[in-house]
Chain A
């Protein structure tokens, strides 16, 4: 009964100083918002990671120079940067060594941010040029929609043939005419279109169809000769997968000319390792967001304490009156504690609401389903309550222990 009255009084007192209350609330809201928004976005992205990453294809792994992500000191980054590129010759040796031990072995090399032109139509300058071989489309999960794939002959002779990703085809041939044998310009060079690939869709918000496929030999001779290849290997079967990885490592060491003492100077990327490295990024962002939010909340807590101290000073007379008509210390304490609790909880709720909205807007950009991060919402509410109580305790204690004679003395 008394509790309900005290709650009413607390809310009433906050309502009187609207501007001040809102400013204090916003302080808390910012802290909560940042953690909720980041966590919502990360959770949403996480949900799509497994499905997204398995787009590599089942039983498939890659060999590349560098790991998918590198974290840590400059030292470790230099360590990877000093590795020698995987050359076409090494890749060919590798394929020869793996003969009969893998279903397909494809080579890829790519560069981003290119532009393709047909007649008066131009793509955005964000097209990826992928240098591949005849096995690329199959081992990367593409099928040919029309025309033909790159042929062995295209690769051998480094011909200026190109296979279009569905998005590039749609941009350059919007009326649906058959692009086969048409000539297009890519970065100023003329290519003959051999075929068009089927749509694969997006992963992590990135289109996987906004690219053109040219013979890897052409890529190395005309676009960039100093690039490191990535080799995609499809094992014979699921059962054979671990064995294929072992053999691939051995064969690659041979192709790279490593002695027994040398460590591997290349990385094996599996779906699992990609997910792991994504989790690393996620964890780093999460930790960063958590620390920043914690600091922000601490600052907000000091803000609450400050405003509550001002409030206690301003309302000394009110406290004196309440005490003179019989308010016990506990009730005065409770009233001020509830005020700071409400401030921080209101901030928390606003932060959570805006955070979830913004987080899901981000998730939406990545074409991900909406998420409600229960765990973080619960954690935030608890943390907010804690902050309200801890930082409100001293002002409330001060109010409760005011001497009524002093408090009532006219100023």
Chain B
């Protein structure tokens, strides 16, 4: 992305949530984006995840300038290229694990038999092969987050985008989840984590620090 900016108008004040960001993420990068509240990391994540478009600048994903496409094309890109993992899990509470995981495949137009098979495989991959018919309310926080990771993986996305994935989990569970991300990275996935916890960031290979909408540092470790 080049000189990416995102401005918000709040009253008569213009908030520069992101100010001239230049970043490149490569295939199989494992990156943590860090920064205090209000540093713009959520805004950056929304733009990377194609939930939002920048006010100005270029965001190219696999060679396509995402800043210029319409809403439906953005939805298609989110479906195919991005796998979200949220702090608040964001599973549909009334659907069981299998149905939650296969949801992206429904929007991708995959046939039911293939959908169920792939969703079941993804759940096995995150260690929940015996929980596929459970509803989220019947699972622990760590298990719910693993369902969410399975959902993020299901469409083989270019980027797995995790927004504070351990924010609602205890330390032991957090490390379990980070182990899963580590394994996914080893398997060749590109992962971007947003976090404000230093020990979580130590699992990654690259740490980008944001402050006031600008990049403060970008280090490999």
Q: Do A and B bind each other?
A: yes
How far apart sit A322 and B78, CA to CA, in the bound complex (Å)? 10
| Contact between B103 and A325, CB atoms less than 8 A apart | yes
How far apart sit A331 and B103, CA to CA, in the bound complex (Å)? 13
How far apart sit A5 and B84, CA to CA, in the bound complex (Å)? 22
Interface size for A (C-beta < 8 A) is 24
How far apart sit A318 and B84, CA to CA, in the bound complex (Å)? 14
Min CB–CB distance B116 → chain A (angstroms): 13
How far apart sit A272 and B104, CA to CA, in the bound complex (Å)? 69
How far apart sit A408 and B78, CA to CA, in the bound complex (Å)? 15
Contacts of B107 in A (CB 8 A): 2, 322, 325-328, 331
For B72, B90, B104, which residue has the most chain A Cβ atoms within 10 angstroms?
Answer: B90
Contacts of A325 in B (CB 8 A): 78-79, 84, 103-104, 107, 151
| Contact between B94 and A323, CB atoms less than 8 A apart | no
With CB as the reference atom, state the residue of chain A lying closest to B89.
A321
| Contact between B106 and A16, CB atoms less than 8 A apart | no
Q: Which of A5, A321, A326, A328 contacts B92 (CB 8 A)?
A: A321
Contacts of B80 in A (CB 8 A): 326
A287 at the interface (CB under 8 A from B): no
A404 at the interface (CB under 8 A from B): yes
A159 at the interface (CB under 8 A from B): no
The A22-60 residues at the B interface (CB cut-off 8 A) are none
Contacts of B26 in A (CB 8 A): none
When A and B form their complex, what is the total count of cross-chain residue pairs whose Cβ atoms lie within 8 Å?
A: 63
| Contact between B52 and A405, CB atoms less than 8 A apart | yes
Contacts of A2 in B (CB 8 A): 106-107, 109
The A306-336 residues at the B interface (CB cut-off 8 A) are 317-318, 320-331
How would you classify the secondary structure of chain A's contact residues: helix, strand, loop or mixed? helix
Contact mask A1-33 → B, CB, 8 Å, 1/0?
110010000001000100000000000000000
How far apart sit A321 and B79, CA to CA, in the bound complex (Å)? 11
| Contact between A326 and B88, CB atoms less than 8 A apart | no
| Contact between B103 and A324, CB atoms less than 8 A apart | no
How far apart sit A328 and B80, CA to CA, in the bound complex (Å)? 12
| Contact between A410 and B103, CB atoms less than 8 A apart | no
| A326 with B75, Cβ < 8 A, contacts A1-B111, A5-B106, A405-B51 known | yes
Contacts of A408 in B (CB 8 A): 51, 86, 90
Q: Which of A12, A318, A321, A405 contacts B46 (CB 8 A)?
A: A405
Min CB–CB distance A110 → chain B (angstroms): 70
Min CB–CB distance A358 → chain B (angstroms): 37
Contacts of A328 in B (CB 8 A): 71-72, 75-76, 107
How far apart sit A410 and B87, CA to CA, in the bound complex (Å)? 10
A residues at B contact (CB < 8 Å)? 1-2, 5, 12, 16, 317-318, 320-331, 403-405, 408, 410
- Residue pairs across A and B with Cβ atoms less than 8 A apart, 11 shown, are A5-B106, A321-B91, A323-B78, A324-B78, A324-B84, A325-B103, A326-B75, A326-B79, A326-B107, A328-B72, A404-B51
